[in-house]
Amino acid sequence: MSKLSSTPTPATVVPAQAPSRGEVGDSRRREQRPGWRPHDDTGHRNEVVLAGRVTAEPAVRELPSGTHLTTWRLSVTRPTADQRPNQPTDPITCVSFQSSIEEATRGWRIGDHVQVSGALRRRFWRSPNGSSSVIEVEAHHAHRVVAGGTSTGDVPAERAPDHQPR
């Protein structure tokens, strides 16, 4: 004969299913913009939008992995109220691993006004002096807004009559 246990057996837990998109009760709808993805429910976001002048022309280098890294630098003017006496602008390094951005930046020159959107990233690498790191903007989208001027700065480079391509 078997002896019955007086301890209760655990109940089976069935997880509740979240309503699918479009169903009543779906309160987690978010504004959808091109290039924007919700990361999680904690509200964390890493979005950067910059508009400034190119101060270091884009350079492409091949990493040991075979991936191409495009790097350039922008100078973004601070609002007048936030300017310091010796630092009216912020130099910001931008990078991209995307071939489409490598193509888009190919004709950029110093002085061009560009717009970049992406995210802040911290990259690490080993150097002869130990580990190093840098914080950069990893660009997801980039385009030139206005071509920079000639040496006088009066005429955009694309319309200058004696402009020689580099």
| pLDDT digits 0-9 by tens, 121-142 | 998 988 899 999 999 999 999 9
Domains recognised in the chain with CATH numbers: 48-149 (2.40.50.140)
Rounded to whole angstroms, the Cα distance separating 115 from 120 reads 15
- Mean pLDDT, residues 72-92 taken together: 88
Between 159 and 83, whose confidence is greater?
83
Rounded to whole angstroms, the Cα distance separating 150 from 163 reads 8
Which pLDDT score is estimated for 150?
41
- Mean pLDDT, residues 89-103 taken together: 95
Band (31; pLDDT cuts 50, 70, 90): low
Rounded to whole angstroms, the Cα distance separating 94 from 5 reads 68
Residue 84 has pLDDT above 90, yes or no: no
In sequence order, what are the residues at sequence separation of 6 or more whose Cβ sits closer than 8 angstroms to the Cβ of residue 141?
35, 101, 116, 117, 118
Residue 144 has pLDDT above 70, yes or no: yes
Distances (CA, A) of 160 to 50, 72, 114, 120, 150: 27, 24, 19, 36, 7
Residue 2 has pLDDT above 80, yes or no: no
Alpha helices in the chain (DSSP H): 99-105
Classify burial at 160, counting beta carbons within 10 Å of its beta carbon; exposed 0-12, middle 13-18, buried 19 or more.
middle
Extract the tokens encoding 23. Answer: 């169903």
**Contact present, 103 and 143 (Cβ < 8 Å):** no
Between 28 and 160, whose confidence is greater?
28
Supply the pTM of this predicted model. Answer: 0.62
